[in-house]
Amino acid sequence: MDWCHYRFRSIWELAAAPADVYAVLENAEEYPRWWPQVREVTPVDDRTGTARFRSFLPYDLVVTAQERRRDPDTRTLEIGMTGDLEGWVRWTVRPARLGAVHGTRAFYEQVVDVHKPLLRHVAVPGRPVFLANHAWMMRSGRRGLAAALAR
């Protein structure tokens, strides 16, 4: 097992129209406004930018993200990442029936290898903590997005 390789999946159920969810998700520069752990997003050009993340653990992760796919017809967004994390992230936004309400399921997929030296050094004992840190970050992001959509 490669202790520095991670595969994440999350499903965010949101009481908003898929087009509205997609519109917020495709605007990466605004993520810090609603996702507390996304500390900074700086555009480099119209398809590339840098991002800095920090959750409850005392370290930042910095990546360069490059758009791979932006498809409003299928509501799919995908980026490639290099830097402290190397790999990709994909959002797929779909309509969903949430009880009696029409809403959205946003599927998040991420496959990355950790390149940050500190995290590689403590990869084996730190893995459960890193997984919990990511799960907390995703829960916080979902709450932030739901609040942003409600405004």
pLDDT for the residue numbered 114: 97
Is residue 99 predicted with pLDDT exceeding 90?
A: no
pLDDT at residue 98, rounded to an integer: 86
Residue labelled with tokens 């993520």: 31
- Residue 62 β-bridge partners: 52
What span, in angstroms and rounded, lies between the C-alpha atoms of 127 and 151?
A: 36
Mean pLDDT within 143-151: 96
Rounded to whole angstroms, the Cα distance separating 42 from 21 reads 21
Residue 66 confidence (pLDDT): 98
Structural domain count, the chain: 1
Question: Would you say 22 and 135 are in contact if contact means Cβ atoms under 8 Å apart?
Answer: no
pLDDT at 1: 81
| Size of the chain in residues | 151
Residue 127, pLDDT score = 96
Q: What is the pLDDT of residue 100?
A: 78
Residues 117-122, mean pLDDT to the nearest whole number = 94
Mean pLDDT value of segment 105-115? 98
Mean pLDDT taken over the chain: 96
Higher pLDDT, 100 or 119: 119
Q: Which residues of 5-34 are buried (b: 16+ CB within 10 A; e: fewer)?
A: ebeeebebebebebeebbebbbebeebbeb
Q: What is the pLDDT of residues 33-72, one digit of tens each?
A: 999 999 999 999 999 999 999 998 999 999 999 999 999 9
Q: What is the CATH number of the domain that holds 9?
A: 3.30.530.20
- The boundaries of the domain holding residue 40 are 5-150
Task: State how far the Cα of 107 lies from the Cα of 110, in Å rounded to an integer.
Answer: 10
For residues 100-110, average pLDDT: 94
